[in-house]
Amino acid sequence: MSAVTARVRVEPIVDPDSTAARAVRALRVAPDQYRYVGDTAFNLGDTLRDPMSEAIAVIADDAIVGFYRLDFAPNAVVGRSLGMPSVGLRAFVIDHRQQGRGYGRMAMNACCDDLRARHPGREVLVLTVNCINAPAISAYLKSGFIDTGELFHGGSAGPQHVMLQFLHPHTTT
């Protein structure tokens, strides 16, 4: 599977016993990434139990290569309203054996397309990324996120940058 030719898409996981759920539980991150995203099997189970969240599989061609959680709680991710309908991105993982192929960037594009199609009323995707996780910061910036300059101090691994991706064109008045 090559990122140059792979078709990356995202799909919700609703059945905890599905083939997709089993594949997500098998995803792993490198040991130095674990503190940022935690255990994928735990994150999947936690997401499936939360009525305000959606579990999403990242699929390259026909193989599940990643996972993330969409959080629709009003104060998701940063603990306060952003003043516009938002959705939080949590627990984003590309399996360590699949990293470096462009799947993360393609998954973020697919994520935003999916949100526009299935949740057109949401205006912004918000996430936090640990201040010392330079590869992730760079990847999110390359995917079109903007760093707000705000730091979130609620994370267990230290302060985090608050980053946004606007889902619809913004006009100023």
Q: What angle separates helix 103-118 from helix 134-142, to the nearest 10 degrees?
A: 50
pTM: 0.89
Supply 1's token pair: 């599977």
> Phi first, then psi: what are they for 71, rounded to 5°?
-115, 115
Give the CATH number of domain 8-166; options: 3.40.630.30, 3.60.15.10, 3.90.1150.10, 3.20.20.220: 3.40.630.30
The reported pLDDT for the residue numbered 4 is 60
Mean per-residue pLDDT of the chain: 89
Going from N- to C-terminal start, the domains of the chain cover: 8-166
∠ CA 12-14-155, rounded to 5°: 70
- Dump pLDDT digits (tens) for 133-168: 888 899 899 999 999 988 877 666 678 889 999 998
